[in-house]
Amino acid sequence: MTSSSMIPVITYVLSDCGSLPVVENSSNNATVQGTYPVNYAVRFKCNVGHEPDGTVVIVCGGGGWQGELRCREVFCPALNPPDNGMIIGSPSYKVGSFITFECNEGYDLKGSSQLLCRTNLQFDSSPPVCKVKMCPGFGAVENGRTFQETAGGIENDYGSVIKVTCNSGYIIHGTSHVTCKVDGTWSTRPVCKGISCPQFEGMNSNCIDKFLLYGTLYYMTCINAPNTRVAGPTEDEPNVCKADGTWQFIEFACYCNCNLTSYDRNIMKISNLAQGYLPHGEILQWSCKNDCTKRTTDALKCVDGEMTMPQCDCPSFTASPAWAILLIVVGGISVISGVGVLAYKKFFGKNLHTDGDQAKVAMNTNDGNVEINAEDKSKNPLKSSK
């Protein structure tokens, strides 16, 4: 009996594939549902805004699907906000989304305010820019000057400030600083008007040495003589013509003080002089003495170096009849002696000496009492004997 061996036969049966694998954010071209036969191929396509990561075609290999795919989301590149501008909100930069731009105050947006992120991950246009708003040329100010700082190298742009000053003799009406506003217009322009302040008290006072009117400023110095300065503690402080047409100091002057240095102290007493001068505006405090009386009872006031001077009336000296006769006799002798001396000199041409002194004689002439020098015949006021 012949024995024979049996060889087992293994048969592999390839089974169909089950449901398709789930790939988020994708679609596929499968035409059947349920089970899929061996070697059935399915092509996947990622949705807009996504790109494939893996195999886009998977095949039923009998018992399972062969291949793996993931669709990952993609974005447009992030953008920086423009200079002097901003990006509104927090953009996603996803495909199909918009990025919105806005400029800061005083700037205009040049370009599109919204950009679209396209499927090619590019924006539909270039990012916009923010341009500063410009004011028109400011022009000249009549009777004035203008100055504008241009640190950025640009004139008349938003925020620019122009300073206006007026020429000498003119005063500014309005604000001195004009600004280029957000709407591209200048703020209110000032004007330069001639100084309209009236003449202040003391402008023509007598002890002013020098004065200078510079714009709205009136400088004044006093002469080097006793005076009373009103307003302004120092000569460096001027009087200012203000914008409302009034002076800072209503009274601004160099008043002269009144000179009483030579009053007769024998018959008069004055108590309120300063080095012989009565200050401007003060009333003289005075009295008469030695039985003398005031000629006036009115108040004597110093006004800018001028005033009515004080006078005292004193009683006259009255002599008794005997003394009067003696004085007449003595006076007659003196006159006769004087005439004799003059006649001697005239006819004999000689000098007459008395006790070694040159002869002098007092005469009563139409000019009053004079002293005649016998040699040069000059006239000099008589000195009263005491």
Looking at residue 18, what DSSP letter applies?
-
* Token representation of residue 1: 């009996």
Q: Which amino acid is at 201?
A: E
Beta strands 50-54 and 69-73 are antiparallel
Q: Which fold has domain 85-132?
A: Complement Module; domain 1 (2.10.70)
Domain 144-194: state its class: mainly beta
pLDDT at 7: 60
* Token representation of residue 131: 């341009």
Q: Which fold has domain 26-73?
A: Complement Module; domain 1 (2.10.70)
pLDDT at 11: 42
Q: Which amino acid is at 368?
A: G
- Per-residue pLDDT tens, the chain, 386 aa: give them: 445 556 655 444 567 888 889 999 999 999 888 888 899 999 999 999 999 999 999 999 877 899 999 999 999 999 999 999 999 999 999 999 999 999 999 999 999 999 999 999 999 999 999 999 999 999 999 999 999 977 667 889 999 999 999 887 787 888 889 999 999 999 999 998 887 788 889 988 999 988 888 777 888 889 888 999 898 777 789 998 887 788 999 999 999 999 999 999 999 999 999 999 999 999 999 999 999 999 988 899 999 999 999 999 998 754 444 434 434 434 444 433 443 333 333 333 334 333 333 333 332 333 333 333 333 333 333 233 33
* Token representation of residue 160: 């620019």
Number of residues assigned to the chain: 386
**How far apart (Å, rounded) are the C-alpha atoms in residues 126 and 111?**
8
User: What are the sequence ranges of the domains in the chain?
Assistant: 26-73, 85-132, 144-194, 208-256, 323-381
What global pTM score does this model have? 0.46
pLDDT at 12: 46
pLDDT at 210: 87
Phi/psi region, residue 293 (left: phi>0; alpha: psi -120 to 50; beta: rest), is: beta
| Bridge partners, residue 214, by sequence | 217
* Token representation of residue 309: 């001077």
pLDDT at 14: 64
Same CATH fold assignment for domains 26-73 and 144-194: yes
The helix/strand count (H/E) of the chain reads as: 1, 32
User: Mapped to the 3 state alphabet, what secondary structure does 116-150 carry?
Assistant: EECCCCCECCCCCEEEECECCCCCCCCCEEEEECC
